[in-house]
Amino acid sequence: MLLSRTSHYALQALIHLAQHEVDWPIPGPQIAQETGVPAKYLSAILGALVRAGVLKASPGRNGGFRVARSPARVSLLDVLTPFEADLFAPHPTCPFGNPVCGDKDPCAGHNGWKVVLDTYQDFLKSTSVEDVASRQRTIQRKRKRKTAKPR
């Protein structure tokens, strides 16, 4: 697994928020219930995303969370960076456990892993939360049509 459970939950929350933009702000407990993410765990994740500037929080009875800017302008990398900082560092640690590994002194797996990591980072930088949310909406509509009984 390339992403931690925390990152998976962060993505689920952001996709949910993007799909329900007309309902902003959405309370954390409601996001937790509708995404199936444990509420206490999600609360910490949402707090980290607020501190990172990805979300804005509104306190109070009618408060909740909203994406800080248009979901089309929030990359998946923006969402994941607070939780996966090592993965996106300019010189991440060698996943094969080698104490010395880099472009100038590569281990046996370095060049192949670098291609994978660069491709992965490019995808996360170039894909927005809205990209995923809109594709997910399309998939959900298709599934509903397939399961709908013909008249």
The strand ranges marked E within the chain are: 55-58, 64-67
Q: Provide CB contacts within 8 A for 16, sequence distance 6+.
A: 26, 31, 34, 35
CATH number for position 41:
1.10.10.10
Q: Distance (Å, rounded) from C-alpha 65 to C-alpha 125? A: 23
CB-CB contact of 27 with 12 (8 Å): no
Nearest to 40 by CA among 48, 28, 23: 28
**Sign of the torsion angle spanned by Cα atoms 17, 119, 135, 145:** negative
| pLDDT tens track, the chain, 151 positions | 578 999 999 999 999 999 999 999 999 999 999 999 999 999 999 999 999 999 999 998 889 999 999 999 999 999 999 998 776 666 667 888 888 788 888 888 889 988 988 898 899 999 999 999 988 777 766 777 777 766 6
Residue ranges making up the domain that contains 121? 5-147
The structural domain count of the chain equals 1
pTM check: above 0.75: yes
Nearest to 92 by CA among 102, 82, 81: 102
